[in-house]
A = this chain, B = another copy of it.
Amino acid sequence: MYKIAVCGCGVVGSGVCDALIHQREKLSRRFAQDVGLAYVLDIRDLKGTPYEEYKTDSLETILSDPEVQVVTITIGGLDLAADYCFKALEAGKHVVTSNKAVVAAHGPELEKLAFSKRRRFMYEASVGGGIPIIRPLNICLYANDITEIQGILNGTTNYMLTGMFRRHASFDEMLARAQRKGYAEADPTADVDGYDAARKIAILSSIAYGGFVDYREVPCRGIRKVLLCDHELADKAGFTIKLIAGSRFEDGCVYISVEPKLVPRGHLLSDVNSVYNAILTKGCYTGDTLFYGQGAGKEATASAVVGDIIELLGTPSTVTLPEFVNKKATVAPDNRPARYYLRFTSLRPIRAGSLIDLFGDDTLCLYSKVEKDPWEDIDVDVTGAVITPAFTPEELAEKVPGLNPLGATLRLTLKVLDD
């Protein structure tokens, strides 16, 4: 019998248990022996749940059972989950985790430990939920030199951004809605400020470019400053706003960031809406390849965890270590020229000609409605935006002070995602 232990029976962990129970026969047929859930470790008593009969309070019980081949770690947070991963590998178990914090922080050490123990450490579920992306990058696309990854890697923020535009809702309204639906945590910082996506793009970039990217080095801006008017202005110009976790590999350097960007309509990522995620890779042989699906949620993430279990039971030994395990990536800010979206406010409308004089002929000028002061019947606040020609950050920094003499105050700067 292949015995599987699940540590952490929260949203993802209970999904893994459900899948293992429901698919026991299918998996057992595949491996020509029983493949079954054996232990569930959780701090709660699981009374009255379908997992009660598997409940244990002790990691030691799991690790000392020689019939347990696989330990899945579906605990949130960092330290305890990492500790369990190390202990399980030390005890000679294969480890599968959905915990991206552990992978982003301790991936290389855990990979090395697994390799030295001739066991596998797998984490398909840590990025993109149910979307196969780790294994495709690590194997199927490995013949390529991967030059770029652009992803929508956080379902919560994508749900919020999609909803703001579709429902004409504010950030706060959509955050409350996401929390009601269980898409956002009570403390939404990790999602909303981009830290979740930063860990995920760091993991993917490490695999794709062969050097470990420390997620703490990923420049990261969230979506708090994106207003409903930004969606409306961007839409007029043919763009949607998405939180893009992207990286590029050039001249030995990883250029990486998480930030809201304007995505041109028709771009492969522009129609990825609501809680869906997508990852676009560019390879020297394959060109553009896109992976799209449910980036989070109990069942989709559980599917990825069980996929890893299937992989390692089928091919329990591997002779390779990923390159990033022994090499640190050089991370740098992306200073390539890009088009920029600049939103400003002013007390009076500004002539398009003045903005074109400032930013150049290919500048696109966008105005939202002028708000009137109902008592005075004078314009008190004009919101406008431009989409500039391509500038380097230095060139942009030289131009921006030119808004002041026009009476405009810069409120938001976003990059445009161009191919």
B286 touches A142 (CB 8 A): no
In the complex, what's the smallest C-beta–C-beta distance from A114 to chain B, in angstroms?
A: 13
Is A397 close to B, CB under 8 A?
Answer: no
Interface flags for A271-313 (1: CB within 8 Å of B; 0: not) read 1000000000001111111111110000110111111001101
In the complex, what's the smallest C-beta–C-beta distance from A269 to chain B, in angstroms?
A: 11
In the complex, what's the smallest C-beta–C-beta distance from A349 to chain B, in angstroms?
A: 36
In the complex, what's the smallest C-beta–C-beta distance from A137 to chain B, in angstroms?
A: 9
B136 touches A319 (CB 8 A): no
Instruction: Count copies of this chain in the complex.
Output: 2
B302 touches A143 (CB 8 A): yes
- Of A127-135, A157-165, A398-406, the stretch lying at the interface with chain B is A127-135
Is A139 close to B, CB under 8 A?
Answer: yes
B300 touches A287 (CB 8 A): yes
Contact of A139 among B135, B293, B318 (CB under 8 A): B135
B313 touches A285 (CB 8 A): no
Is A54 close to B, CB under 8 A?
Answer: no
Known: A124-B140, A139-B311, A143-B307. A323 touches B30 (CB 8 A): yes
Is A390 close to B, CB under 8 A?
Answer: no
Chain B residues positioned under 8 Å from A323 (CB to CB): 29-30
Main secondary structure of the interface of A (DSSP, over half): mixed
A285 touches B314 (CB 8 A): no
Is A144 close to B, CB under 8 A?
Answer: yes
Interface residues on A, range: 35 or more
Q: Which residue of B is nearest A278, CB measured?
A: B290
Is A317 close to B, CB under 8 A?
Answer: yes
A293 touches B286 (CB 8 A): yes
B319 touches A131 (CB 8 A): no
B318 touches A302 (CB 8 A): no
Q: Which residue of B is nearest A286, CB measured?
A: B130
Known: A140-B124, A291-B290. A314 touches B320 (CB 8 A): yes
Is A23 close to B, CB under 8 A?
Answer: yes
In the assembled complex, the Cα of A32 lies from the Cα of B319 at a distance in Å of 9
Chain B residues positioned under 8 Å from A132 (CB to CB): 132, 135-136, 140-141, 289
In the assembled complex, the Cα of A268 lies from the Cα of B276 at a distance in Å of 12
A303 touches B135 (CB 8 A): no
B292 touches A289 (CB 8 A): yes
Interface flags for A31-74 (1: CB within 8 Å of B; 0: not) read 11000000000000000000000000000000000000000000
Q: Which residue of B is nearest A18, CB measured?
A: B285
Given contacts A32-B319, A288-B292, 15 further A-B contacts (CB under 8 A): A30-B142, A31-B320, A131-B286, A132-B141, A135-B135, A266-B271, A268-B292, A285-B299, A285-B302, A285-B303, A288-B294, A313-B319, A314-B318, A314-B319, A315-B315
Interface on A for B, CB 8 Å cutoff? 15, 19, 23, 26, 29-32, 124, 130-132, 135-136, 139-145, 266, 268, 271, 283-294, 299-300, 302-307, 310-311, 313-320, 323
Q: 4 closest pairs, A vs B, by CB?
A: A143-B306, A315-B315, A132-B140, A289-B293
